[in-house]
Each structure stands twice: as structure tokens, then as C-alpha cells.
Amino acid sequence: MRVKFSLILFCILFQSCNSQKKATPEQEQILEAAKANFVFVEGGTFTMGKNGVSIAYEHDVTLDSYSISKYETTWEEFDLYHIMNDLEIINPHHRGKIKDYGPNYAAKKNTWFLAKSYCQWLGEQLDLPIDLPTEAQWEYAARSRGLNVEHATDSGIIEVGEDDNYGTDTPVGTYQPNPLGIYDMSGGRPEWTNDWAVIYPDKPIENPRYDTIDVRKDKIIRGFHSLYNSVYIRSSREPEQDGFGGGFRCVCNQKTPIK
């Protein structure tokens, strides 16, 4: 099964690398905006997970600094990847007809393979080490560098009235970001991470990566449509799945801010 996954991913990446079109000035602006939307996250040590939440046991994690996109990847950005690599965009018949297929809405209907391929392709365009976030990077950013909060809102809690309308039927960035300036990590789309679904270790760990595990079949997903779900909750899907409404955002694994 692992070999099958690797071959599929290789084919996607190979096609991306060998059929690249030259960007127009308008397309270059989309790429530059994606670059400007990365938020620097200073590394540190935090307690990841929360006892009492299923399969989210507390353990200490130390992370290097990195940057993460303040928004989930939009249709405008995801479509650009397909267009520049001469691939058919996803559900083209929905453009201009269904609201949440608008250019500034978070892209959905993407497999883990497509999400990872997009992030690595973006890194090639910007000459930066861009990839999907690890699960630890995702949680650390959602919790504004590991704060003890249940939700990735501006206050870390759900404020009745103000936060009642969170959901995926609005453009990215509609609601207030968390204290780091990152949007929709609660109440947005479920987001792919780079990691296979594994049980957390019982000892402190530095820069955990679980993207080379052979015995697992699901990739970890973090964040959920409903704002009311705790930021600690974990879920997973097989990487070929694309029908659960999930999205993604990218990270830049550079220890200094992006210039």
C-alpha cells in the first residue's frame, strides 16, 4: 500500500514539474500574495494534546521556528496550480454557480496527494521549503504557540453571538484570526496534515514528523467545520479521499521569516 501511495504521489509531482507553463503577470500576483500571506511562528516547547480528549494524550513537543499560511488555500490559488500544470481544475462546472466555489473560498475536494503536491509546487515557484504542516506545527499555530485554549479564535473561546456564524460558507478570513493572525483554524475546513495517524509518544520529542510510517493507512486531519469542536480533536482519512469537504494550508520550513 505504501508503494502505491508513493507511485501516485510521484506521478503527480512528475507531471507538475514537467508541464509547467510560464506565469502571466496576473498569475505572478497570485503567487506573490500567497507568499505574503505566510505568518512567522517562533518555535518553542509546548504541551501538545489534552488528557481527556480521545487519542490526544499530553506530551511535550519542541519545534523549530517556521511560517504558516494565514489562510486555507483558496480556489484561486489551487486553480492556478492546475492551470499552470495543464491539469483540469476541480469541478469547473461549479465556478460562478455555487457560492463556495468562488475564488476566495477555501478549496475542497482535494486528496492528501493533491494538497501536498500543491504546497511543494508553491515552494518551487517561490524557491522556499514549503510543504503540508506536521500535526505538531498545525496545533502549535492554532493554539498561538501552544496557549491553553480550546478554540483558534481571537479570544481562544467561543463568544456567544459574535462567533455564532462560523462555517465554510464564507470566504477565507471572514472572521477574526487567532492572536498569531491566522484564520479559520477553528470553524473552517478540516485540514490535511503531513503526518500518518499515530499514537502520541509518552516522552518529550523534538520536531516530530510521522510522514514515513509504513504501518498506518490514514493521514491526520485537524480543524473542523464546526467552531464548537475543540482544537485538540484529531481525525484522519485515507489520503485518496476527497469527499469530506476538507481543505489545507501550507507551511514554510525555514527558521527565519520569509523575506
Q: What is the DSSP string of 147-210?
A: -S-SS-SSSSS--TTTTTT-SSSS-TT-S---TTS---TTTS--EEEEEE--PPPSS-EES---
Q: Where are the domains of the chain?
A: 2-252
User: What is the residue-level pLDDT of the chain in tens, covering all 259 positions?
Assistant: 444 444 444 454 544 445 577 889 899 999 999 999 999 999 999 999 999 999 999 999 999 999 999 999 999 999 999 999 999 999 999 999 999 999 999 999 999 999 999 999 999 999 999 999 999 999 999 999 999 999 999 999 887 666 666 666 789 998 889 999 999 999 899 999 999 999 999 999 999 999 887 777 999 999 988 888 899 999 999 999 998 899 999 999 999 999 9
2-252 is classed in which CATH architecture? Alpha-Beta Complex (3.90)
Q: What is the pTM of this model?
A: 0.90
**Packing angle of the helix pair 112-126, 2-18 (nearest 10 deg):** 40
Question: What's the burial of 25, exposed, middle or buried (CB within 10 Å: 0-12/13-18/19+)?
Answer: exposed
